[in-house]
Structures are given as C-alpha cells and as structure tokens.
A and B are shown apart, each in its own frame.
Chain A
Amino acid sequence: MSVRTEPIIAITPKRISRRWILGGLLLSWIVLAQFLRGKATLELDNPDNSPFTTWAGEVADSIRDNRTDGAAFKFFFNPIREFIDGFVTLSRELIAIPSGSSSIPVLGWLGVISVIGFVVYAVSNIRMATAAVALTFACGALGLWTDSMDTLAMTFAAVILSLAIGIPVGIWAGLSDRVLKAVTPILDLAQILPTLVYLAPLALFFLIGPASATIATMVYSIPIAVRLTAFGIRGVPTSPVEASISMGTTKRQLLQKVQLPMSSRTIIMGVNQTVMAALSFVVIAALIGAPGLGKPVIDALIIRNVGEGFVAGIAVVLIAIMLDRSTSAAISSQDTFVPPSDADRKRRRIGLAIAGILAIVGIVLSRQLAWAAFFPKQIDISKQIASASDSSVKWVTENMEFLTAGLSKAVTVGVLNPLESVLANSPWYLTVVMITLMSLILGGIRSAIVSATLLGAIVATGLWYDTMITFTQTIVATLLTMVVGVIAGVWIGRNARAERALRPILDAGQTLPAFVYLIPMLGFFGPSRFTAIATGIVYSIPIVVKIVGQGIRDVPVNMIEAATSTGSTKWQLITKVQLPAAKKSLLLATNQGLIFVLAVVVIGGFVGAGGLGYLVLLGSSKPELQGKGLVAGFCILLLGVMIDRIAQYMVARNSAPKH
C-alpha cells in the first residue's frame, strides 16, 4: 500500500514557495541588469555580419550557383517549380493577365463577376451571391481590378493545390493513428511558424516569383487542410461507424458512405480556413514576387504612404470578406442532414438555371465587348478613399495626439524600455540563465532544457541582440493583449448578448491578413516600435477573447451555483471561481496570443520596429546581407518554438491530475 495522502499535503506550500522564488528571481534579474547594463549585449550593427550569418550567406550563394546544374534542382526543385508555375499562370490567365495572344484574360471583368455570382449562389444562397458580386465590383471601383484578380487567382491556385494534397493526407491521418502521429509534429510546427520565416528559404530554392509564392502559401495552408480533415474524420461518432462495420462494409465503403458524408461539415470548414490562410499568405508573399494586392500594400508600408496602402488594404479586406462569407455560408447551409423539401429544391433548380444563363451571358459579353472586358476607368474612387484616409489620419494625429502619442509614449517608456533594458541591454549570459531558471520553475526541467538549448543556438547565430528586441516587443504586446483579452473574454463569457454582438467582429478580425492592420496603425503611431506592438495586439485580440470567453462559458454551471449560493459577489465569482476554473483556457490563450503576436511583431520590422523582421527585409533587398536575413528568419523560428514549448509545458503542468 503506497501512501497517497502525501502529495495532497505537499501541494499548497509548494505553490506559495514557487511564487516567492519567481518574484525573487525577477527582482534579482532587474537589479543585476541595472549593474551590468550595456555589457556583453552582443549587439551587431545592421550592415555587419556575424561569422554565422557570413557562412549562411555563402551557403545561400552556393545553392544559387547550383540552380541550373545541380541534380537536386534539375530533378526535384525545378520540375516542381515549373509545374506550379504553369498551374498558377493558367489560373491567372483565366481572370487576371492576358491569355495567350489575346490582350485580355479568358474572362473579362463582367465574366468574372457573373461567374463569382453563380458559384457563390450554387454553394450558398442569393444573398451571399449578391454580396459577393458587390464586393468584387468594389475591388474594381478601388482601381485595383487587375491586382485584385491576381490575388484571387493566386489564392485560387494555392487553395486547389493545397486541398489536393491536404484533404487526402488529412483523410489518411483521420483513419490511421500512425499517420496522425507522424504528421502531428509537422502540423504543430507549421502552426507556430511566423509567415515571414519561410519566404526567403523557399525563394532560394524556387526563385523569386509566383511559383515560390504559391509554394510558400501551400506550406502555410496545407497543414490547416490536413488538420481539419483529420479532425472531421475522427469526429464521426463511433456508433454509426461500428454499426456499418457490423453490416460488412469494406474500408472503402465505410469511408465513402459513412465517414466522408458525416464529416463533410468539418471538411468544408477546413476549406474555408484553407482559403483564408492562403489569402493572407498570398498578400505577404508579395515579398517573394507574388503578384496582386500584396505589392501595393508592402510598397506603401515601406515608403510610409498610408493613403495608398489603405486603398489596397481595403481591397484585401473586401476579398477576404467575400471569400470567408461565401465559403462559410456553404457550411451553415449544411447544418442539418435533412435536405430541403422537394418544392424548395425545384425552386432552387430554376434559380440555378437562371444564374447559369446570366453567367454565360456575362462570360460571352466579357469576351466580345471592350466595356465588359476592361473594368471601366470612370469608376474609380481610389483617389477619394486615399485622401479621405490620409486626412482622417491627419485629423486623428493632430487632434487626438494626446491619445495616440500619449499611449505610444506611455507603453514605450513605461513598459517597453524597462523590459528591453533587462532582456536586451543586459549581458546575454544573464538573460540566458534567468530565462532558463524561470522556465524551470514555470514549466519544469524539460522546458528549462529546451529554453537553454534554443537560447544557446540564438547566441551562436550572432543575432542575439535583435532577437531580444523582437522578444521584448512580443512580450509587451502579449501582456497588453492578455489584459484586454481577458477583460473582454470574461465579458462575453458571462454575457450571451455581448457574445452574440461581438462574435461577427471577432470572426472578421481573425480572417484578415496581418498586413492590413499595419496600415492604419502606421498612420496613427508613425514608424515606431509601438506601431508593431499595437498591430500585434489588434491582430491577436480576437483569438484571445474567443478562447477566454469559451473557457469562462465552459465553467460548469453547478460550480457557479454553488459559489452563488454561498453568497459570493460578482467580483468574487469572477476572480475566485470562473478565472481559476478557466485557467487552462487562459494558458492556451496566452500561448496562442504569443504566437500570433510574434508573427505580427516581426512584420512590424518593416515600419521601424527593428529587430529580426527588419533584418529579414534587409536580407531580401541587399545581397550582402541575405545570409543575415536567412538567419534572422531562423531566429524567429527558434524564438517561436521556445515560446510555444514553455507555454505547452506550463499547460501540461497545470492540467496534470492533482493527486
């Protein structure tokens, strides 16, 4: 008989002492950092290379020299590139660029719009179809028809290829535990990898251009398709599956007649998410030559032209809304397994026939008549939008300066600078030791080993200082995100009406590409570290609020009733029952928040936040710094993995059984 009571007694004092140790550690870290300020910070000036980045540059050069003759290129990378290039070109010729000898795409603007209307009507309903047509038309009215169509064509090509790989692999992983186990680490890694990281390496192997951009997009969106498909197949209730096997189905029959039809909802949800991921990536992939709306957005960011960036940003948002609404409408029309009545079906068939005829008329006109082929130049409101956004930004910065500048200054002086002085401007060994000790206390011995190893690797790359700058911004943005996110999350978790009101905004916020948020933030806060932080906050708040809200809602009712019946106040209920009970959700939200923030903060490097993101950008424009850019991407990866691992170990620790 083992003594089982011991751990129960041990838990309480251990908790308290852990808190004290953590506090003591922080205090001594701050004090030591003050004493050793500016020593051994390993700061590397932007134009300089470390031994490691020099080596990385040489490796990149040798890969580049190999491109025409190397076997790996001849037989692997180049054929893939050519195939994908062909596919993307086909997709672009359909709607965006002149096809063959013609001076227009296969479909002129009227053709595109009528096909979009027809397709959206076919998968959802007339309201969605009208909205989709209007949104697409608006992209043209912004004077960005061709760029919008390029973005759409790129997204379409990437989505088709991603689903062609992702759904079969997902089905396989849904059916086989072994396959799932094999792909899970890859899926996890893909999920925490900031988008900026794999652009440069892919461009190295697949050249700069649409093919590289598509491959990068696929790398980003395939895992999402795999994950949701596998999730859908695994989510099919066991009893119909068992019953079907008991009736003698073969594996194939089981898949076709039971598992696929019953998981179609989740798989379509996966298609929706794949589409949204692909769209947001196609925008950022402009950095490695993706045609479309990403280019004007990035150009505008780099030359700090808020007005022009804003117009392109709006077009991205319009396309995002169009794609999201029409694909998710396809999900909700599948809410029940009961199909519509025969009368409804007949009505719909007539509707489809009419829509089909309209689409064909649109296509034919757009191939015959100039006005239907080229989007009319008379309809162009881009100048008005640009100047309106410029003047409203100007108004805000002039009249609300106390707010924008005040907020920016408060965060920068109050939080950012002190943290930077501890993390980045103190000796590297102090930071390494302290982070390792803290992850030992928070996440246990394995998390400490992981942290020490990853931090050691970052030191070895020579980009320690820049990594710590990025890390500081990530932490500050996450802290602020959590403050706002927990408050809003508790609110929507406790108030169903607030939840209903906020959900569409949160959903919309989650689907927009990160880049888009950067433009107004740049307008409000100018090129600064705070702009990156503010964008990170705005981008990651929706996911944090959603997770926290869900966690609060999931607290069992009887727990709340018990607390209320003992006379708890509302405040006591929140702080003593709901938040502690939702602890796992809070940790999960923090983890997700960190990952989302990191992805955006590095992009903030484009608008004056410095750190690793800026080095990536430099690397892509200056050949002598390309090695440094690649290594900076690698450091982002290491940082992301470290943050994720510490958080995961904390979650694991906190959800372990208490006795």
Chain B
Amino acid sequence: MSEVSSAISVNNLWQVFGPNPEKIVGSADASLPRAELREKTGNTAAVRDVSFDVAPGEVFVVMGLSGSGKSTLVRCLTRLIEPTSGSVVLNGEDIMKVSDARLRELRRTKFSMVFQNFGLLPHRKVIDNIAFALEVNGVSKEKRHARANEVIELVGLQGFAYAYPEQLSGGMQQRVGLARALAVNPDVMFLDEPFSALDPLIRRDMQTEVIRLHEELGKTMVFITHDLSEALKLGDRIAIMRDGAVVQMGTAEELIANPADAYVEDFTRDIPKSHVLTVRTIARPLADTETATGRTIPAETIIRDATAAVLDANGPVAVVANGNVIGYIKSRDILQVVGGGTEA
C-alpha cells in the first residue's frame, strides 16, 4: 500500500478508549457496533480500521458528523492521541514507531496543524505565534521573524504582526492559525474543522483562501469537516466516516453518483447533483427513435455547466471522452437531474 508515491499512507489504524484497548483490535468484538462494544467490554472504538493514501499535493477531506471519530483520527495521524494499532507512513517513515525526539522533530518541520478553536497563544504577538514552531526548534529570532513576515504576507495579515490575538476577529485569528501552520513549510498540513467556529460569510472567504494557498503552494492537506459543501468545494477526494470507520471514499462525483449506503445517501441528499456530477454519469446509448445532432460535449463537464449547450441543441448531444463518443444526452436527461433537484 505505501508506495513512495503517497505523501501520507494510513494503514489499519485503530484507536480504542477504555480498560483494555489492545485486546479489542483483531478480536471478534472489533466488528460489533459501537454501542454494543461498549456495553460488552467497556471500550469505545473511536477509530476503527481506517486505511487511506493521500497523494502529494492532494487535498484529502475526512467528513463525518460529530462523534464519528474524525477529530480523533486526525489527532492519531500526528500522535496527539496515541493510536492503539496501525501505521501512519509519512515520506516512507512510520511515525507510529519513531522516538519521542524524532516525533518532535517531525512536528517541528514536516507536518503542521490548524485547529477549530485556533489554539493561539494569547500572551504572544501575532508574529511570535506564527514563529512559535521555529522558536521551539531553536531558530534564531532574526530568521524566524523574517520567515514569519513572509507567511504574514502570504495569508494577508499585513499590519497585524505586532497585534495580540484577542485584538483580532475570529477570521483574522484563524489566518494566524493558517500562517502558523505554513511557517515551517511543512510536507503535510492537517486542518481540523478550521472554519467551523466562523460566521458563514467569513467561512466562505477562508475556504477560498485555502483554495488559493493550495494552488500557490501545492501543499498536501488532510482537511477535517462536518460540512459536505465544504468537503465538495475543497476536496480532491473525500472519506466519509461513521462510528469510527470509513464508510466510503472517493471523489465528490463518485460519492454522489453511487452512495455506498443509506448513510452516505442521506448526507448527499441536500447537494444539487447537477452541481457535482459530470455529463459522463448520465450519458446513455442513443435510442432507436433518436438521431444525433452532431454536437459534442466533453465528458468531464459538470451537468450544470452543460445545461445551456444541451438545451440549445434540440436533440441528443454526443458525450466525448478521449476522442471517443461514450454516449448521448439530451435536454430531458439534464432536466431529470436538475428537476430531481435536491431530491434523490
């Protein structure tokens, strides 16, 4: 599983709270539903048998409701919470096996984290908050302030370097959080519901900001959220968690087109399909009664974006992938998706 091609590779990760966590993993009890497991053994499985690979430069979103284990999962990846078993391989190094000293070194240089409640140090200026990881790593004041000023520029905090966190708005505080995570130039960034505590409008700004930063810097990100629209907006791939386990993993389109179970379907119900699905998913063979119009449309076009062209065509439009026609759609097909609207 852990080829060099992935930035981070998680294999069979378990996190069990309770009196005898080691005994649960691999036993018959492990497959019990969470409530039954607790009743029977007194243990709670917060993360159960989670495996995934994140490619370099990918934004991987973990999504789930509160209590689904997503926050525990992300803390296990950096060992803020010790997992019960499994491996997390970062650049070929299994961080479950490294010494405390090496773990600190990794935290100071290789990965960084952004928190829901910001976690800023109120007694330090913005610039010293941002430079904190460099400071604990023994970087000289001059160098770390120079670096901090770079990222201050990057996240748009110019003029606030010498302010204190309590003097900033929530959105600005989380910019400090982002800057702090970027300061060490990490290989992987973990973002634990970074925008959940913000107002909707500011949240949207910050999402755009993350997209921009990702485009500029190309950092690998593991992004935790409970908000599906945020997941769809940011994620290259999305893992949906429930009761500590991953129930489905894939691109936004895969999740919406083929929900693995009723739980995932329930999640995706409110998402307008036409905003996510491509025309590929509704392409079909030409019926006997139809004749092609001769117009074509690329298979990866989002349905919403194809609407005008298809309605305009007044007949079946060929869906083309790699130069081949993979099927046809016409206005009725589009209207079915759009008209089905938010419904199934």
| Closest A residue to B113 using CB positions | A246
A244 part of interface (Cβ distance < 8 Å) = yes
Question: Which 4 A-B pairs have CB atoms at the shortest separation, nearest pair first?
Answer: A243-B119, A248-B107, A248-B108, A247-B133
A253 part of interface (Cβ distance < 8 Å) = yes
Cβ-neighbour of A240 out of B106, B109, B116, B122 (below 8 A): B122
A6, B136: Cα distance in complex, Å: 58
| Closest B residue to A260 using CB positions | B123
How does the 8 Å CB contact mask read for B90-132 relative to A, with 1 for contact and 0 for none? 0000000000000111111100110111111111000000001
Contact B112 A246 (CB under 8 A): yes
| Closest A residue to B184 using CB positions | A247
* Chain A residues with CB under 8 A of B132: 244, 247, 257
* Chain A residues with CB under 8 A of B122: 240, 262, 337
A655 part of interface (Cβ distance < 8 Å) = no
A240-B122, A243-B118, A247-B133 given; 7 more Cβ-contact pairs under 8 Å: A237-B117, A243-B115, A243-B119, A243-B177, A244-B119, A247-B184, A248-B137
B293 part of interface (Cβ distance < 8 Å) = no
Contact A337 B136 (CB under 8 A): no
Contact A243 B120 (CB under 8 A): yes
State the interface size on chain B (CB cutoff 8 A): 32
Contact B117 A239 (CB under 8 A): yes
Interface residues on A, range: 20 to 34
A250 part of interface (Cβ distance < 8 Å) = yes
A338 part of interface (Cβ distance < 8 Å) = yes
* Chain A residues with CB under 8 A of B113: 243, 246-247
A244, B103: Cα distance in complex, Å: 14
- Most chain A CB within 10 A, of B105, B113, B119, B122, is at B119
Cβ-neighbour of A338 out of B80, B118, B133, B167 (below 8 A): B167
Contact B123 A337 (CB under 8 A): yes
A471, B164: Cα distance in complex, Å: 55
A17 part of interface (Cβ distance < 8 Å) = no
How does the 8 Å CB contact mask read for B150-191 relative to A, with 1 for contact and 0 for none? 000000000000001111000000000100100010000000
Contact B119 A242 (CB under 8 A): yes
- Most chain B CB within 10 A, of A237, A240, A248, A261, is at A248
* Chain B residues with CB under 8 A of A243: 113, 115, 118-121, 177, 180
B6 part of interface (Cβ distance < 8 Å) = no
- Most chain B CB within 10 A, of A243, A244, A245, is at A243
How does the 8 Å CB contact mask read for A235-272 relative to B, with 1 for contact and 0 for none? 00101111111111110010001100110000000000
- Nearest chain B CB to A247 CB, angstrom units: 4
| Closest A residue to B106 using CB positions | A248
B72 part of interface (Cβ distance < 8 Å) = no
Task: Say yes or no: A246-B136 contact (C-beta < 8 A), given A262-B121, A336-B166, A338-B164.
Answer: no
A248, B167: Cα distance in complex, Å: 26
23 pairs, CB–CB < 8 Å, chain A vs chain B: A239-B119, A240-B122, A243-B115, A243-B118, A243-B119, A243-B177, A243-B180, A244-B132, A246-B80, A246-B113, A247-B112, A248-B136, A248-B137, A250-B104, A257-B121, A257-B135, A257-B136, A258-B121, A262-B122, A262-B123, A336-B166, A337-B123, A337-B164
A258, B122: Cα distance in complex, Å: 9
* Chain A residues with CB under 8 A of B133: 247-248
Contact B80 A245 (CB under 8 A): yes
B268 part of interface (Cβ distance < 8 Å) = no
A253, B109: Cα distance in complex, Å: 17
A393, B190: Cα distance in complex, Å: 73
- Nearest chain B CB to A237 CB, angstrom units: 8
* Chain A residues with CB under 8 A of B80: 242, 245-246
Contact A247 B108 (CB under 8 A): yes
Contact A246 B107 (CB under 8 A): yes
B274 part of interface (Cβ distance < 8 Å) = no
* Chain B residues with CB under 8 A of A246: 78, 80, 107, 112-113
A239, B123: Cα distance in complex, Å: 14
* Chain B residues with CB under 8 A of A245: 80, 107
Cβ-neighbour of B107 out of A237, A247, A336, A337 (below 8 A): A247
A253, B117: Cα distance in complex, Å: 21
- Most chain A CB within 10 A, of B80, B118, B122, B135, is at B122
A336, B122: Cα distance in complex, Å: 9
* Chain B residues with CB under 8 A of A257: 121, 132, 135-136
A336, B166: Cα distance in complex, Å: 9
A261, B122: Cα distance in complex, Å: 9
A246, B180: Cα distance in complex, Å: 11
| Closest B residue to A247 using CB positions | B133
- Most chain B CB within 10 A, of A240, A246, A249, is at A246
Contact B108 A338 (CB under 8 A): no
How does the 8 Å CB contact mask read for A328-362 relative to B, with 1 for contact and 0 for none? 00000000111000000000000000000000000
How does the 8 Å CB contact mask read for B253-277 relative to A, with 1 for contact and 0 for none? 0000000000000000000000000
- Nearest chain A CB to B299 CB, angstrom units: 42
- Nearest chain A CB to B5 CB, angstrom units: 26
